[in-house]
Amino acid sequence: MAGLIPQSFIDELLDRVDLVEIVDHRVKLKKTGKNFSACCPFHDEKTPSFTVSQDKQFYYCFGCGASGNAVGFLMDYERLGFPEAVEQLAHHCGLEVPREEQSPAQKEKAQERKSIYSLLEQADRYYRLQLRQHPKRMEAVDYLKRRGLDGHIARDYGIGYAPPGWDNLLKTLGIGEQERHLLTEGGMLIHQPDQNKRYDRFRHRIMFPIRDLRGRVIGFGGRVLGDDKPKYLNSPETPVFHKGRELYGLYEARQAYRELPRLLVVEGYMDVVALAQFGIRYGVATLGTACGEDHLALAFKHTREVVFCFDGDKAGRSAAERALAAALPVMEDGRQVKFLFLPEGEDPDTLVRQIGAEKFSNMVDMAVPLEDYLFDALSADLNPRSLEGRALLSKRAAPLLHQLPRGVFRELMFDRLAQRTGLNRDTLMELVHEPVVIKAEPTRAPAAPVDIAPADDRPPPPDYEEPPAYTQEPGPTGEEYFDSPAPEPAAAPPAPPSLSGKRYLMPPARKAIGLLLANPALAAEESPEFWLEHSEPELRSLGQLLKLLRERPHYQLPHIIGHWRGVYGAKEAEQLAAIAGQDLLVAAGAHGANRAIKPSRADYDTRVAFCDCLKGVHRQLAEQQKTEALSQLRQKSSDFAGLSREEREALVKAALAHKTPH
């Protein structure tokens, strides 16, 4: 398997491409001063807030915060992975993508993953074939028809059948020891080393293949047809499948819509498939786990709106509270989370059959927004008109709101809490470190994920009858599942709030980073060592940026963002890009200002500004040191005489210090 793409090639590629050309080919740009602008392709808006800088080869949206270089734009717009985006840019430039040589261990691991993918695809074909050809297939077909599924939906979601028996898949695909080992690693066989036995994990079940964003089969979910337990069984964690980071049905939802209107998070595979049968193809399900931050981060890469669908009973309310807790840290401006509670005893599968697609879609449209659900859930057992009720609401809500990312939404939520309680912002901020509680009574603990039940892992009895092995044949066309057409979908996501035009004053460390991003040559003015040793994340980032630019002085903004994404991850790169975007915001504001009041470029010395920022950081650090020393003095004042002379002098000197020379 191919190795990593060399950083030097990515740098060369970014030097060759013109971001304006790449973007303009997909989104029509208009020249505005020295930059280009358009309505943002990543959220709905009527006034253009999407800016592309040709000089910096960098884009930024003042509305939703989308930002990055040419690689990042293709990843977000075309929904590609990093390697695929690089491949597409290289093809545009007529270049071949080189790969770094891998160690033997890396090659072996990569080859094993590739072989597991291949065997899982073969298992998928095998299960689909059994649904059409196995002698006992009618039990599965009748079940699917009773649930209202037609052949087109069964084909689109790749539904199959694992027949009864302990070694059907083992006999079909486990032709050698290597294949049996890979099937075990891929979660398809259960191995009992003490008895040296292997047998099929999935038996007598309707099979639902789980696909990644590239459409590769990475695991399976199985719904039992008999009385065996558990009712639903998932693949275990494997080298290619991590249930905490995957959503069943996301691949199919992306195939159904050019722009996903929303994602509706439901409980099970059958809910997802039943909704798709009625033309609602934006349903997804978690895989035996509660919806977590990783699930939501994945969902928000593809849409701006996520709706959680729960039963209206106590268990559903408890699940909603856990979903709320997971949603708060990822609620960036422009994102929307809603909660839909169904009538007790109903699930999406049964309800959509009773009321139809149109009424169900209307229910989704009218789902409760996160901001309303949060305050309603926290006030459920309170009297919000009483002083005690408002005091308790403040103590419960403030720590939760503190988890929201900094931005307009967070500010508005604190404003709403202030309106509900009558407290000012300063008082509320004093409560943010209170223990987080959603209700007075303890909520039920999350249900344990149902992956492998002991009853299903038991080895086959010694006298079981072996079923005949079934050979694979060419795959189905679609109509061979059943016969009937399927309905169609539609829709569009809501627009996020835009940022105000008010100038944002950056802290000195962040401003220093912004100046470095805009003027990489400034790195020669400061050594990175002091900053790299610091525990504060932003100061350490300043040191990392200084180090990078001193080692690679030719780097410009697109190279820096590309390097940051590769070394520190997408989240860190987005934070850096947001700082660079702030520079574009100031430039855009200056462009719109009256020329008579605009300072000339010569009046602004970036070197002096950069050095002033560093001095500002040192002053802040000295103040922190002084505050800490004073705090220690207060704590030890009762026993000041007990300190040694050196300790007393050091403590007093630190407390009286006003600044640290730079």
Mean pLDDT of 326-354: 91
Residues paired with residue 47 on neighbouring β-strands, in sequence order? none
Q: Which of 126-135, 221-230, 345-354, 564-573 has the highest mean pLDDT?
A: 126-135
Do strands 368-369 and 30-32 pair parallel, antiparallel, or not at all (unpaired)? unpaired
DSSP 494: P
Mean pLDDT of 91-111: 82
Q: Could you give the CA distance from residue 163 to residue 539 in angstroms, rounded to a whole number?
A: 60
Beta strands across the sheet bearing 368-369 = 283-285, 263-266, 305-311, 336-342, 368-369
Residue 215, pLDDT score: 87
CA angle 210, 273, 369 (to 5 degrees): 95
Q: Cα separations (Å) of 630 from 104, 599, 625, 642, 648?
A: 58, 42, 9, 17, 12
CA angle 70, 71, 74 (to 5 degrees): 85
Q: Does a structural domain hold residue 538?
A: yes
Number of domains in the chain: 4
Q: Could you give the CA distance from residue 139 to residue 163 in angstroms, rounded to a whole number?
A: 10
Alpha helices in 44-136 (DSSP H): 70-77, 82-93, 104-133
Other residues' Cβ atoms within 10 Å of the Cβ of residue 55 = 11
Greater model confidence, 519 or 460: 519
Least confident among 181-185, 240-244, 398-402, 579-583 = 579-583
Token code pair at residue 236: 């275990």
Greater model confidence, 194 or 650: 194
DSSP 330: G
Q: Does a structural domain hold residue 53?
A: yes
Mean pLDDT of 347-370: 92
Tell me: do 47 and 131 sit in the same domain: no
DSSP 522: G
pLDDT in tens, 139-159: 999 999 998 898 889 999 999
pLDDT band at 12 (very low <50, low <70, confident <90, very high): confident
Closest CA to 575 of 620, 545, 605: 545
Least confident among 28-32, 148-152, 281-285, 441-445 = 441-445
Q: Supply the CATH number for residue 522's domain.
A: 1.10.860.10
Residue 393, pLDDT score: 86
Greater model confidence, 46 or 325: 325
Residue 574, pLDDT score: 80
Q: Does a structural domain hold residue 324?
A: no
Q: How many CA atoms lie within 13 A of 480 on its CB side?
A: 12
Mean pLDDT of 606-629: 82
Residue 307 clears pLDDT 90, i.e. is over it: yes
Mean pLDDT of 417-443: 66
Tell me: do 133 and 221 sit in the same domain: yes
Tell me: do 37 and 115 sit in the same domain: no
Q: Does a structural domain hold residue 366?
A: no
Residue 414 clears pLDDT 80, i.e. is over it: yes
Closest CA to 117 of 187, 190, 65: 187
- Burial letters for 88-113: b for 16+ Cβ neighbours within 10 Å, e otherwise? bbbebeeeebeeeeeeeeeeeeeebb
Residue 182, pLDDT score: 94
pLDDT band at 641 (very low <50, low <70, confident <90, very high): low
pLDDT in tens, 376-386: 888 888 887 88
Residue 434 clears pLDDT 70, i.e. is over it: no
Using an 8 Å Cβ cutoff, are 524 and 559 in contact?
no
Using an 8 Å Cβ cutoff, are 514 and 505 in contact?
no
**Torsion sign (Cα): 336, 342, 347, 353:** negative
Mean pLDDT of 294-318: 88
DSSP 639: G
What crossing angle do the helices spanning 508-518 and 570-592 adopt, rounded to 10°? 80
Mean pLDDT of 406-434: 80
Closest CA to 123 of 221, 239, 191: 221
Residue 481 clears pLDDT 70, i.e. is over it: no
Residue 301, pLDDT score: 81
Token code pair at residue 619: 């002053």
Tell me: do 186 and 68 sit in the same domain: no
DSSP assignment of 441-467 equals SPPPPPPPP-S--HHHHPPPPTTPPPP
Using an 8 Å Cβ cutoff, are 583 and 518 in contact?
yes
Question: In which region does residue 94 sit, left (phi positive, over 0), alpha (psi from -120 to 50) or beta (all else)?
Answer: left
Give the end of a domain, one of 93, 117, 152: 93
Range of the domain at 81: 7-93
Residue 514 clears pLDDT 60, i.e. is over it: yes
Using an 8 Å Cβ cutoff, are 1 and 111 in contact?
yes
Residue 163, pLDDT score: 95
Least confident among 34-48, 180-194, 646-660 = 646-660
DSSP assignment of 236-263 equals ---SS--GGG--BTHHHHHHH-SS---E
Tell me: do 174 and 114 sit in the same domain: yes
Least confident among 25-39, 212-226, 461-475, 524-538 = 461-475
Tell me: do 168 and 202 sit in the same domain: yes
Tell me: do 148 and 48 sit in the same domain: no
Least confident among 72-76, 336-340, 504-508, 551-555 = 504-508
Residue 165, pLDDT score: 92
Residue 256 clears pLDDT 50, i.e. is over it: yes
Q: Does a structural domain hold residue 413?
A: yes
Q: Supply the CATH number for residue 120's domain.
A: 3.90.980.10
For tokens 């709905």, name the residue: 44
**Torsion sign (Cα): 351, 356, 362, 365:** positive
Token code pair at residue 173: 């695909």
Residue 427 clears pLDDT 80, i.e. is over it: no
Q: Does a structural domain hold residue 165?
A: yes
DSSP 59: E
CA 463 vs. chain centroid, Å, equals 49
Q: Is the peptide bond before 474 cis (omega within 30 degrees of 0)?
A: no
Residue 589 clears pLDDT 50, i.e. is over it: no
Mean pLDDT of 122-150: 93
Residue 491, pLDDT score: 42
* 3 state SS of 284: strand
Residue 597, pLDDT score: 41
**Could you give the dihedral angle defined by the CA atoms of residues 61, 62, 67 and 73, in that order, rounded to the nearest 10 degrees?**
0
Least confident among 136-150, 340-354, 471-485, 539-553 = 471-485
Residue 224 clears pLDDT 60, i.e. is over it: yes
Residue 650 clears pLDDT 50, i.e. is over it: yes
Tell me: do 192 and 73 sit in the same domain: no
Give the end of a domain, one of 93, 127, 158: 93
Tell me: do 30 and 86 sit in the same domain: yes
Q: What is the chain's length?
A: 662
Mean pLDDT of 628-646: 63
**Could you give the dihedral angle defined by the CA atoms of residues 211, 216, 222 and 225, in that order, rounded to the nearest 10 degrees?**
110
pLDDT band at 652 (very low <50, low <70, confident <90, very high): low
CA 358 vs. chain centroid, Å, equals 30
pLDDT in tens, 521-564: 888 889 888 888 888 888 889 999 999 998 888 888 878 888 88
Closest CA to 232 of 243, 240, 220: 220
Residue 642, pLDDT score: 61
CA 379 vs. chain centroid, Å, equals 30
Tell me: do 161 and 85 sit in the same domain: no
Tell me: do 537 and 631 sit in the same domain: yes
* Burial (CB count <10 Å: 0-12, 13-18, 19+), residue 511: buried
**Torsion sign (Cα): 572, 574, 578, 581:** positive
Q: Does a structural domain hold residue 359?
A: no
Predicted model pTM? 0.60
Using an 8 Å Cβ cutoff, are 380 and 348 in contact?
no
Phi, psi of 550 (to 5 degrees): -75, -30
Give the end of a domain, one of 222, 241, 260: 241
Residue 156, pLDDT score: 92
Q: Is the peptide bond before 460 cis (omega within 30 degrees of 0)?
A: no
How many H-runs (helices) and E-runs (strands) does the chain carry?
26, 16
* Burial (CB count <10 Å: 0-12, 13-18, 19+), residue 177: exposed
Residue 643, pLDDT score: 63
Least confident among 273-282, 292-301, 483-492 = 483-492
Residue 392, pLDDT score: 87
Q: Does a structural domain hold residue 305?
A: no
pLDDT band at 507 (very low <50, low <70, confident <90, very high): confident
Residue 367, pLDDT score: 93
Q: What is the mean pLDDT of the chain?
A: 80
Tell me: do 111 and 230 sit in the same domain: yes
